Structure 1
């Protein structure tokens, strides 16, 4: 099952503020916010939702095709991704712009304030997914992740036209989309990914109720942080998958991308959605315990141990054959 992952390619600048954002906000002055947070740690890492998801799929042995735009500074990042199992042949490299930047500060309650600079990502709208599919070979699924909005719309329309199933993951870009755009991105998706906040924002942006949305997609996956994941389908009760617990959260950035990689890898290995979500939760917790979205080490034995401890030995035995060959 060949998966194309479309989405941003970026460099993450991750800082830690040793306090609480909420304590710095004055209720009656929120319309005139001018704040500076003195961070005591800075980490610079490779990131971008498209690259993060593709990286996880690559580690799990899926040979994902990354489709996105990067900048003139991409060479080292390109080498890194290829070394970890990602096919970057479909990445458009700008001749003038730098790779996108994600700058994020996290407080001691794991709240985050972030800014994203698009840079070369703006050129993603020029990528022709149909031509990419001809070159790369048959695609079984296209994940449309956060990217230049015009690119997201173009990739979605192309995938539907070609009859390729779509996994819609608008995430951070929901805030920029108007009603028609939001509807175009999710309508007809086989899989729809959001977190809890994005789920509420999606109903507001589309003007569709949860019931209406469920009637337009195959399965709606909502990540709930420490509360796990919710799988919802029209006409059936929602299915709750508990999170894999941890007491060693180092950085929440990238956990959602890791869940998506694990979930899609599970589907590609023909696991039922429930089991695929368990694999996704195990990978998400692995990322939570490291700083940086692509700095974690993947061990099949560790993933299986996490799954067994949370969901039982039978669940681990079901996943084990799908992880064959992973260190």
Structure 2
């Protein structure tokens, strides 16, 4: 099965301020705010929802196709993806733009100031969807270009290709009507519990009405695991114990990669979600979204320690 990932590719540029922001902001002068924070260097990490999912799938032995868009500064990230067997045939380069980037400054109290430049993500990826073999394909639409997030579900739906809709942080950018159109007919709608409430509020639908429009609804609950809902029948999937919680950022994308791997192995959705739990555990134990490593053999042993044989 060929997996197609619609989603962002981005640089995370992380800076640490060795003090507290509050010591340098005058509350009575917020109307003329003008501050400069001298940071302790800069770390550049590869990220974006599409890139994170693809990276985790590569660790699981898959070679997904990324449908995304990048800018003229993408060379280092491109090399990283190629090293992990992820090709660029579905990635559009927009030469007049930079690749999407998050600029994150964290102070000693763990407060953050973030600026996000969508850059090339403002443009659709323009992938020729007709080249997809509908008999052997699985798609996931994760946060990225808004046009792609509407167009790709429509194509999958019209061509009977199963797809996962994962709107995530882009939920507020859609109208309620657009969300209904995009999720309608999805094999799986996946959100965390807060995002699900946002969808219900935006669309005016009840949870039961959402469940009727998709084959499965998966709600992730962090350390409490996840719930797989099939037409009102719920199955709880536990989280996998971790050695330490270092950084939960990227755990959701890792979960989605494990889920996709399970579906590619023709597991049930609940069984596939168990693979998602294992993959998420690796991400939580490392700082950054593409810093963890594992072999499929080690992954299998960890799975079996929590859930029994992976047949």
Fold match (TM-score > 0.5): yes
Category of TM-score, reference length = shorter chain? 0.7 to 0.9
For 1:221, the equivalent position in structure 2 comes to 218
For 1:181, the equivalent position in structure 2 comes to 178
How many corresponding residue pairs? 306
- Compared CA separation, residues 252 and 105, structure 1 to 2 (3 A): farther
- The 8 Å contact of residues 216 and 228 in structure 2, kept in 1 or not, is answered as yes
Comparing 247-256 with 302-311, greater Cα deviation is found at: 302-311
- The 8 Å contact of residues 304 and 310 in structure 2, kept in 1 or not, is answered as no
Residue 13 of structure 1: how far off its partner (Å): 2.2
- The 8 Å contact of residues 10 and 47 in structure 1, kept in 2 or not, is answered as yes
- Compared CA separation, residues 259 and 105, structure 1 to 2 (3 A): farther
TM-score, with length taken from structure 1? 0.83
For 2:310, the equivalent position in structure 1 comes to 318
1:103-132: CA deviations, max 9, x gaps? 3467899887654321001112x5144245
| Structure 1 residue 305 corresponds to structure 2 residue 297 | no
| Structure 1 residue 205 corresponds to structure 2 residue 202 | yes
Task: Please give the alpha-carbon distance, in whole angstroms, between the structure 2 residues aligned to 1:14 and 1:212.
Answer: 41
- The runs of 5 or more residues in structure 1 that have no matched partner are 320-327
SS at match of 1:61: coil
For 2:96, the equivalent position in structure 1 comes to 96
1:175-204: CA deviations, max 9, x gaps? 111111111111111111101110110111
SS at match of 1:305: helix
Pick the aligned partner of 1:256 from 252, 256, 259: 252
For 2:86, the equivalent position in structure 1 comes to 86
- Which runs of structure 2 are paired with 1:46-85 in the superposition (5 Å)? 46-85=46-85
- The 8 Å contact of residues 59 and 85 in structure 1, kept in 2 or not, is answered as no
Pick the aligned partner of 1:193 from 190, 193, 197: 190
Task: Please give the alpha-carbon distance, in whole angstroms, between the structure 2 residues aligned to 1:71 and 1:5.
Answer: 18
- The 8 Å contact of residues 140 and 163 in structure 2, kept in 1 or not, is answered as yes
- Compared CA separation, residues 318 and 45, structure 1 to 2 (3 A): same
For 2:166, the equivalent position in structure 1 comes to 169
- Compared CA separation, residues 106 and 249, structure 1 to 2 (3 A): farther
Task: Please give the alpha-carbon distance, in whole angstroms, between the structure 1 residues aligned to 2:19 and 2:196.
Answer: 29
Residue 244 of structure 1: how far off its partner (Å): 0.9
The root-mean-square deviation of aligned C-alpha atoms, in Å, is 3.0
- The 8 Å contact of residues 255 and 276 in structure 2, kept in 1 or not, is answered as yes
SS at match of 2:310: helix
1:231-268: CA deviations, max 9, x gaps? 111142x1111111224222111110000001110110
- The runs of 5 or more residues in structure 2 that have no matched partner are none
Residue 75 of structure 1: how far off its partner (Å): 1.9
SS at match of 1:68: strand
1:284-312: CA deviations, max 9, x gaps? 1101111221111112343233323333x
- The 8 Å contact of residues 60 and 295 in structure 2, kept in 1 or not, is answered as no
- Which runs of structure 2 are paired with 1:259-270 in the superposition (5 Å)? 259-270=255-266
Task: Please give the alpha-carbon distance, in whole angstroms, between the structure 1 residues aligned to 2:205 and 2:114.
Answer: 28
